[in-house]
Structure formats: structure tokens, C-alpha cells
């Protein structure tokens, strides 16, 4: 085809479309007039001649349309015509339109939100140059965590990376001279910004050349967002000195606006050189090779030409070398490369998002099935119109095109509404701060990709359900339909021809209901799992318990002064009226901030303390006397701790039941026995306490040991206070009591339950998401069943009238009206329940204690689906019962 010519004529038609149409009309009219002239000459009068001329001409409208098409197709004009006609049809049946658009909007909105999360958390790279060649390493024991000396060896001995940087988290009192507060930072290697290839927004960054040994680089770089909120965009901050935990640091510069650090959902306030980390993390030994808490992640760009496989091989080589050279401090499992940004959170995050995608996909399918049946019903209602158009000479393809245009119109409208809703939700999510003070940030702002996916989904689903009524239209026999009139059963054509009792709509509806039942089952399983996990035994009692975070290093205490001060604090707390028990645990209590620390232990008879001889790696907690009582941990055997277990006394420990059973066979056996720590210390077990949860509520049972805190003092600790007093009052009393001891003590007072909320956050979010999807599923079932029941009642109203007139009882009418809908509901629900039970195995990965084999869940699903059925069939049932034979028969 001659393309330029085509486009020119297309353009001409667009601008002169109506002119050309008139031109064609005039020519056809001229033809008929000429013919009429001839007929008139042969003896007819003018009117009769014109009538005959028109008949001889044939299908006027059809030839006019064909002429237009012959002139180069009139795609755009037809489209505009179709759209205009489609809009008119949709306006005329508002019920159908609203049902279809809202169904689609719900489904597309859910999918766009889920895709937005997937896009933000997993697909989108960090906003740094050449992010595609940036890799994080999972190295050493496989968790990503690493010690600083191991990082140095990896950096200097590998041949695949251009440069490797590393970072760690720090929490420090940030003092600008007024209003000191706790800020979150990354302690990074000097080359951090250079490896990322980013440039400062203001001032300068620190570099590898600034590092000259421990505490040699007292500089910090501010994150843009923190600079904006804490320093109100003050460009004069460069060069100013601030204090982190009382140590002076000079502000060097500010990061560019789009950069939020190298962990996707944590946005730090500042960056500092890792060589200075010991100043803000007392007791932190950067150069201890066994300190696997030293580095959170190592990352870098692969050299041009180096493949990820070569990188992994290289890392494994260095790992093997290190394991051989430092058998005491280093374990090497396999190394892998991961996309930078999520690191060790990648697995759970991917599983979670994949689960969500699956369910959102189900929602979309269910919605499509719903729309398919809506469209089929709608097309059946219009069979008379279609028949009329066919009889008047319209081609079937033209009618199909019209139906398609309507489907696309609906899908675009539904898509737009759904997208708007999802954009709103995603925007809210990305500015959401789930915990006050915690630097969590979900980078899920929607971008072009999200819009594109939503549009594609809308169009694809539009075509999917637009196709459903096609068969019906293609088969339609205009004469039969026109003859049969409006009240002829539409599916009758199908069932009469094939003797089928099951129509396409029935199948669609059953599929839809079963999908919705899957969603309902899944959400019930999840909710039930969450409820259980909140009531399971953590090995401590969080009710009526207050946690008081007190970091003595921030208040300027040296480590040797710490035990005495901590004892004075506990004694002071016990004098508060209403306080029943008080104790403390160094660093964090179990389950808080996923902060469990494992330590290697050896059997007492082991002499060579190398990694391969490790007997176990229990979680280690350093606790004071009174801790178990305050935390509500029951002591099973032996004695508790007392203040005589100090640094002059022999080393003792209390272990949990799991530890005792694993190392010594039984609780009774363990009392009085010895084991060895990595540094060779002999430790005697003096007591055994109950099992509990330590790192996460979903973990399998782990071993744990509790050492007396006076034997290994640490300045950061949480005081645990048991009291039945009102938390608000109690917090005020604790604050004033502790301030009596030291005015400048920074305190963080919260109930244990509220701190636990942070731990429960992921499963809470998962449950909320699943709950929302389950609700969506239930809503879709309601619309689907309602649509079908209402439609069939409407169709058969006359029949019901006759039945009532012949003496049918209410029960029989109801059975006739809704029997099919109820059967489909029962069948679909049963299938869905079964599938949901299978699908719940997947859920067990995300949601704690998610088991579908729970009578409460099964009963819940059955009740929910019955309610759905009741709600959806209520109005149609009322209508069927109200069928008045006289009225209906008169209407005909």
C-alpha cells in the first residue's frame, strides 16, 4: 500500500470527514435520481419511480458504508461512531455499567497496588548510576553479615569487582546544641560514595583517603531528607560541628535528593565513616575477625566484562582461603551475589510479594469471569437490537466491533478508576511511617511502569471478557429473535440447539465463586494465624510490662561504672509504688528489633576451639537478677541469678530447656554441668528456664543462654519493669525516679507490647493485605451471584407469575428462582475451599501459624460464603416472591 498517500487521505478524511460523507451521499442520491428519471420516462409516476429506483439500488446504508471503506477504510470515523454509540448504550443501562466498572476498578486497583509494591521493592534499582552492575554479596555464613577484617580481605583479594564498599547501622544521640535526639545512620567504609558513583548535593563526601585508623575521621554526611527536616535546608551546615553520643563530628556535605541509602526500605539520617563507629557503639570491636555484626552488607560494581558467575567464584575462593587461614573466627558456606538493596530481606520480601501477586491475579481472574457473565447477560438483553441491525444489513463483524468497543470503553473506565485509587494508596504507603522514630521508608511511589501495567491489564481483561458474548452474536439468527420477541429466553438459543443445561455463564460464575472462596479462605487462615501468634507462648509475658531503654554511654558513663549504676537504677525502680519486679537485659530484650545475638559454645571436654567443633550456637542474653521475674519467664530447675554472681564470682549461666536437652539430654542432667565459650571460659549451668521465642515469632525452637549481666557489663540495656499500674502514670513515675539518679539520662520508655508491635509488623501487614483481598473476593462473589440471580429472576418473572397463578407455594417459587444460583454457590465454594486449603501451604511462609486444617477456619469460610449468598440473593428473591400473576399476564 502506498503509505504516504494513505496517510494523506486519512488526514484529509479526518479534517474533511463530513464533507466526504456528503459527497458519497450526493453521488448515490444522484444515481437513484437518474434511475428514477428513466423509470418515469417508461411510464411510472414520479413517486413510484423513486420508490422502485431505491429498491433496485439495494441496501443503501450497506453500500454507503462499503463505499467509505473502499475509499481507504474509515477506521477512525467508525471508531468515533462506535464510541459514541457505545457511550449511549452504557448510559442507557446504568446498572450494568456501574457493576462492570466497579468490578474492574476493584480488581485493577488491587493489581496496580500489588504491582506498585513489587516494582518499588524488587524491580526498581537503587537510584544510583549504573545500578544494573551493582551487586550485594551474601558471603561468609550466608546471612550477608560480615566482620570488618573479612570485608577487607574480600575487597583486596578479589579480581572481579571494581571496588567493594560496606556499611553497618548505627543509632546515636544526635546533638546540634539544642534538642538532642536519637538518629539512625549508616557507618560506611570511606569509599562508600565513590563505589556508588554519586556526587554530593552540597559540600563534599568523605573518601577512602580520609580513613587513617580507628576514630580518625570524625565526619558525617547528612541525608537530604534529614537535612531538609532537621536543618530546614540550611546551606550553612557544611563545616558545622555536631555531637554524636557526645563525640564531635564535622558535617561535610549533603547527599543528592533521590538517594536514600543502600537498603531499599530504610532511609538513614546520616552517614559516618565506619572507622569511627566504636565512638558511637561502645564495645564494638571493628577489627575482631569473629565479630560478624561488624558489616551489614558488602557491595560493589562488577568490572566491565566480569560475569556474576566469575564474581561468585572469586568470592568462594577468598572465602575458602579465609576459612583455612582463620579456622577459629571464620566459617565459610557458599557465597552468592544478590541485587543490592534488599540483601537478606530479599527472600521473605519476594515470597510475600509473590503470594500477593498470586492472589491479586486471582482477583483479576474472578473479576474477568464476573464481567464475562455480565457482558453475556447484557448481550442477551440486546439480542433484539443486534437482530434488528443484522436484518437491516449490518455486517456481523461490524456488530462485533461495536461490542468490542464497548468492552474496551468499560475496561478503560474501570482501569482509570482503579488506577486512581491505587495511585492514591501507593502515595499514602510511600509516605507512611509505621513506627515513630524508625527510619522505615517504603519506596513504592508509582511510576510509568505501574501505569503501563495497569493499562495493559485493563485492555487485556477488556478483550478477555469482550470475547465472551461473541459466540452468542455469531450464532444469532435475526429472524428467530425478532419473531420470538423480547421475552424469548436468550440462553434458550444455546440450550435448545445443543440440549445443554450448563451455559457459559454458569461455568464462569462457578469459576468466579471458587476463586473468591480461595481468597476468603486465605484471608481467614491469615487472620487466624495472626491471632494465634499473638497468643502463643513467647517465653515471657508482655502484659503489664514496661521496657525502659537506657544507654549509659550516651550519658557519658565508662564501662567500669556501668554495673553499679545499673544496680542503682533497678533498686530505684523497685521503690516506685506498684512496681512488682524489675530487672534488666543488655542491649535488647528477645524479639525486639530482630536483635538476637548467637554465640558459639563448645562441650567442656573440647580443647581445640575451631569452628568445626562448635557444639551449638545459642542466642545469648546478659540479664540481671530479677529479669526472669520481671519478664514472667518461669524457672524450671536450679536457682536464679543473684547479685553475688558478679565479676569476682565463677562464671555461671541459666539456659533454656532446649539448650539443656540438646547438650545434656534433659533438664535435670544439665544442672551443675559445664560448657565452654569461644574465648575458652568454663561456664557452669546453675538453672534452666522455659523455652521461648528469640529472633522472630515464626522461628523453630532455638537454644538460648542467659549470662549474669554484672559479669559482662554493657552500657546499652533495657530495664524490664513489671507493674499493674496505668502505663502512662508508670512511665512518668519511672522517668522522674531515674532522673533523680542522673539528670542527663536519655530514656526510652514503652510498653513491651508496643515494642513487640514492630516485630509483628510484617505478619500484621501480610494479614491486612490478605484480609483486604479476602474482602474484595467476597464483594466480587456478591456482585457475581447478585447479577446472575437478578438477571434470571427478571427473565422468568412471567413464568413465576404463571406458577403462582397455578398454585405454587413460596418455597417452590424460590426454588425455581434461586435454585441454580445456590447450587452454583455451593459448588463453587466447595471447590474454592479445597483450593484455598492447598494454597494456604504457601501462606505458611508469610503468616505465622497459618494452618488451614483448623475447624474454625473451615466453619468461617462456610459461614462467610453462605452470608455472601444470602446477601446476594435477597433482593432477587424478594422480587420473585412479589411476582403478581395478574400484573404480569396483563403486561403481555
Partner 1 sequence: MPNQAQLLPGTLDLLILKSVSLGPLHGYGILLRIGQITDSALLVEQGALYPALFRLVRQGLLIASWGVSENNRRAKFYELTVAGRNRFREETEGWNRLANAMAAALAAQPEEL
Residues at the contact surface with partner 1, assessed by CB under 8 A: 9, 24, 26-28, 30-31, 33-35, 37, 56-60, 62-63, 66-67, 69-72
All three cell numbers of 833, joined, read 475451599
**C-alpha span between 702 and 539 (Å, rounded):** 12
766, 781, 775: which is closest to 840 by C-alpha? 766
**C-alpha span between 395 and 332 (Å, rounded):** 73
27 vs 233, beta carbon nearer partner 1: 27
Degrees, nearest 5: CA angle 516-521-525: 150
Q: Please, what is the minimum distance in Å from the beta carbon of residue 57 to partner 1?
A: 5
**C-alpha span between 784 and 773 (Å, rounded):** 16
List of residues 6+ apart from 192 with CB closer than 8 A:
165, 166, 167, 186, 205, 271
Q: Please, what is the minimum distance in Å from the beta carbon of residue 30 to partner 1?
A: 5
All three cell numbers of 882, joined, read 412479589
40 vs 211, beta carbon nearer partner 1: 40
55 vs 806, beta carbon nearer partner 1: 55
**C-alpha span between 66 and 73 (Å, rounded):** 9
59 vs 95, beta carbon nearer partner 1: 59
Q: Please, what is the minimum distance in Å from the beta carbon of residue 516 to partner 1?
A: 50
Helix ranges restricted to H, 470-503? 470-475, 478-484, 490-498
Q: Please, what is the minimum distance in Å from the beta carbon of residue 129 to partner 1?
A: 54
74 vs 796, beta carbon nearer partner 1: 74
28 vs 835, beta carbon nearer partner 1: 28
Q: Please, what is the minimum distance in Å from the beta carbon of residue 390 to partner 1?
A: 18
How far lies 267's CA from each of 225, 260, 432, 442, in Å?
A: 9, 5, 12, 9
737 φ/ψ angles, rounded to the nearest 5 degrees? -65, -45
67 vs 445, beta carbon nearer partner 1: 67
17 vs 214, beta carbon nearer partner 1: 17
All three cell numbers of 21, joined, read 460523507
Q: Please, what is the minimum distance in Å from the beta carbon of residue 478 to partner 1?
A: 20
Sign of the dihedral through C-alpha 748, 751, 755, 761: negative
Q: Please, what is the minimum distance in Å from the beta carbon of residue 72 to partner 1?
A: 6
292, 302, 297: which is closest to 346 by C-alpha? 297
35 vs 124, beta carbon nearer partner 1: 35
Q: Please, what is the minimum distance in Å from the beta carbon of residue 63 to partner 1?
A: 4
Q: Is 694 helix (H, G, I), strand (E, B) or coil?
A: coil
Q: Please, what is the minimum distance in Å from the beta carbon of residue 472 to partner 1?
A: 29
Count of CB atoms situated within 10 Å of the CB of 607: 8
Q: Please, what is the minimum distance in Å from the beta carbon of residue 80 to partner 1?
A: 20
472, 503, 516, 523: which is closest to 368 by C-alpha? 516
Transcribe 146-208 into DSSP letters.
Answer: B-HHHHHHHHHH-SSEEEEEEEEEEEEEEESSSS-EEEEEEEE-TTHHHHHT---SEE----G
1 vs 436, beta carbon nearer partner 1: 1
Amino acid at each position: 500500500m502506498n503509505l504516504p498517500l494513505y496517510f494523506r487521505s486519512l488526514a484529509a478524511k479526518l479534517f474533511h470527514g463530513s464533507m466526504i460523507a456528503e459527497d458519497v451521499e450526493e453521488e448515490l442520491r444522484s444515481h437513484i435520481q437518474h434511475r428514477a428519471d428513466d423509470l418515469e420516462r417508461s411510464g411510472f409516476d414520479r413517486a413510484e419511480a423513486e420508490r422502485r429506483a431505491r429498491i433496485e439500488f439495494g441496501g443503501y446504508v450497506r453500500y454507503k458504508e462499503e463505499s467509505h471503506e473502499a475509499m481507504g477504510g474509515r477506521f477512525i470515523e467508525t471508531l468515533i461512531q462506535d464510541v459514541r454509540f457505545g457511550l449511549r448504550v452504557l448510559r442507557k443501562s446504568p446498572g450494568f455499567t456501574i457493576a462492570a466498572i466497579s468490578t474492574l476498578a476493584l480488581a485493577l486497583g488491587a493489581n496496580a497496588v500489588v504491582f506498585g509494591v513489587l516494582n518499588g521493592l524488587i524491580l526498581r534499582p537503587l537510584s544510583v548510576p549504573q545500578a544494573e552492575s551493582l551487586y550485594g554479596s551474601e558471603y561468609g555464613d550466608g546471612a550477608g553479615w560480615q566482620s570488618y577484617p573479612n570485608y577487607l580481605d574480600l575487597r583486596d583479594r578479589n579480581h572481579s569487582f571494581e571496588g567493594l564498599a560496606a556499611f553497618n547501622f548505627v543509632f546515636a544521640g544526635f546533638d546540634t546544641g539544642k534538642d538532642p535526639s536519637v538518629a539512625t545512620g549508616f557507618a560506611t567504609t570511606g569509599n562508600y560514595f565513590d563505589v556508588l558513583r554519586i556526587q554530593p548535593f552540597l559540600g563534599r563526601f568523605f573518601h577512602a583517603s580520609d580513613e587513617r585508623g580507628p576514630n580518625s575521621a570524625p565526619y558525617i554526611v547528612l541525608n537530604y531528607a534529614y537535612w531538609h527536616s532537621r536543618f530546614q535546608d540550611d546551606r550553612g551546615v557544611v563545616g558545622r560541628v555536631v555531637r554524636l553520643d557526645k563525640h564531635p563530628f564535622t558535617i561535610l556535605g549533603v547527599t543528592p535528593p533521590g538517594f536514600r541509602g543502600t537498603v531499599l526500605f530504610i532511609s538513614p539520617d546520616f552517614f559516618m565513616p565506619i572507622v569511627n563507629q566504636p565512638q558511637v557503639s561502645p564495645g564494638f570491636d571493628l577489627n575482631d575477625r569473629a565479630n560478624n555484626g561488624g558489616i551489614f552488607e558488602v557491595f560493589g560494581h562488577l568490572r566491565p566484562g566480569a560475569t556474576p558467575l566469575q564474581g561468585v567464584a572469586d568470592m568462594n575462593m577468598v572465602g575458602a582461603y579465609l576459612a583455612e587461614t582463620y579456622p577459629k573466627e571464620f566459617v565459610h558456606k557458599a557465597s552468592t551475589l544478590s541485587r543490592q538493596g534488599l540483601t537478606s530481606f530479599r527472600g521473605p520480601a519476594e515470597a510475600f510479594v509473590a503470594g500477593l501477586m498470586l492472589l491479586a491475579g486471582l482477583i483479576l481472574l474472578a473479576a474477568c469471569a464476573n464481567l464475562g457473565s455480565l457482558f453475556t447477560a447484557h448481550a442477551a438483553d440486546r439480542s433484539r437490537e443486534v437482530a434488528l441491525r443484522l436484518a437491516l444489513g449490518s455486517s456481523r463483524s461490524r456488530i462485533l466491533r461495536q461490542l468490542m468497543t464497548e468492552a474496551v470503553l468499560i475496561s478503560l473506565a474501570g482501569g482509570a478508576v482503579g488506577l486512581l485509587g491505587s495511585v492514591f494508596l501507593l502515595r499514602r504507603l510511600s509516605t507512611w511511617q509505621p513506627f515513630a522514630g524508625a527510619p522505615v521508608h517504603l519506596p513504592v511511589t508509582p511510576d510509568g511502569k505501574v501505569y503501563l501495567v495497569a493499562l495493559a491489564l485493563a485492555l487485556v481483561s477488556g478483550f478477555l471478557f469482550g470475547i465472551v458474548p461473541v459466540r452468542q452474536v455469531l450464532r444469532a439468527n435475526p429472524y428467530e429473535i425478532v419473531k420470538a420477541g423480547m421475552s424469548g429466553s436468550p440462553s434458550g438459543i444455546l440450550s435448545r440447539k445443543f440440549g445443554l443445561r450448563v451455559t457459559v455463564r454458569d461455568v464462569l460464575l462457578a469459576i468466579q465463586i471458587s476463586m473468591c472462596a480461595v481468597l476468603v479462605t486465605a484471608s481467614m487462615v491469615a487472620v487466624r494465624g495472626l491471632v494465634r501468634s499473638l497468643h502463643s507462648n513467647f517465653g515471657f509475658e508482655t502484659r503489664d510490662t514496661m521496657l525502659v531503654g537506657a544507654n549509659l554511654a550516651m550519658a557519658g558513663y565508662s564501662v567500669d561504672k556501668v554495673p553499679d549504676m545499673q544496680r542503682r537504677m533497678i533498686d530505684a525502680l523497685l521503690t516506685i509504688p506498684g512496681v512488682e519486679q524489675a530487672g534488666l537485659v543488655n542491649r535488647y530484650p528477645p524479639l525486639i528489633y530482630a536483635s538476637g545475638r548467637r554465640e558459639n559454645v563448645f562441650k567442656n571436654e573440647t580443647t581445640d576451639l575451631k569452628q568445626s567443633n562448635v557444639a551449638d550456637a545459642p542466642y545469648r542474653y546478659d540479664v540481671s537478677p530479677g529479669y526472669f521475674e520481671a519478664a514472667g519467664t518461669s524457672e524450671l530447675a536450679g536457682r536464679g541469678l543473684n547479685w553475688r554472681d558478679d565479676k569476682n564470682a565463677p562464671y555461671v549461666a541459666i539456659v533454656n530447656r532446649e539448650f539443656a536437652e540438646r547438650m545434656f539430654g534433659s533438664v535435670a542432667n544439665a544442672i551443675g554441668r559445664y560448657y565452654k565459650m569461644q574465648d575458652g571460659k568454663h561456664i557452669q549451668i546453675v538453672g534452666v528456664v522455659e523455652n521461648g521465642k528469640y529472633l522472630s515469632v515464626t522461628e523453630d525452637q532455638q537454644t538460648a543462654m542467659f549470662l549474669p549481666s554484672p559479669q559482662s557489663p554493657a552500657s546499652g540495656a533495657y530495664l524490664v519493669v513489671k507493674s499493674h499500674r496505668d502505663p502512662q502514670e508508670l512511665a512518668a513515675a519511672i522517668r522522674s525516679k531515674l532522673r533523680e539518679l542522673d539528670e542527663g539520662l536519655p530514656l526510652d520508655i514503652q510498653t513491651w507490647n508496643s515494642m513487640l508491635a514492630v516485630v509483628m509488623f510484617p505478619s500484621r501487614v501480610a494479614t491486612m493485605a490478605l484480609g483486604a483481598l479476602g474482602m474484595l473476593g467476597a464483594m466480587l462473589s456478591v456482585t457475581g451471584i447478585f447479577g446472575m440471580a437478578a438477571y434470571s429472576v427478571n427473565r422468568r418473572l412471567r413464568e413465576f407469575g404463571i406458577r403462582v397463578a397455578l398454585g405454587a407455594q413460596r418455597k417452590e417459587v424460590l426454588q425455581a428462582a434461586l435454585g441454580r444460583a445456590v447450587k452454583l454457590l455451593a459448588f463453587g465454594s466447595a471447590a474454592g475451599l479445597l483450593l484455598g486449603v492447598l494454597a494456604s501451604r504457601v501462606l505458611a511462609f508469610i503468616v505465622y501459624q497459618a494452618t488451614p486444617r483448623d475447624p474454625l477456619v473451615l466453619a468461617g469460610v462456610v459461614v462467610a460464603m453462605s452470608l455472601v449468598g444470602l446477601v446476594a440473593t435477597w433482593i432477587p428473591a424478594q422480587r420473585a416472591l412479589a411476582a403478581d400473576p395478574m400484573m404480569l399476564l396483563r403486561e403481555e
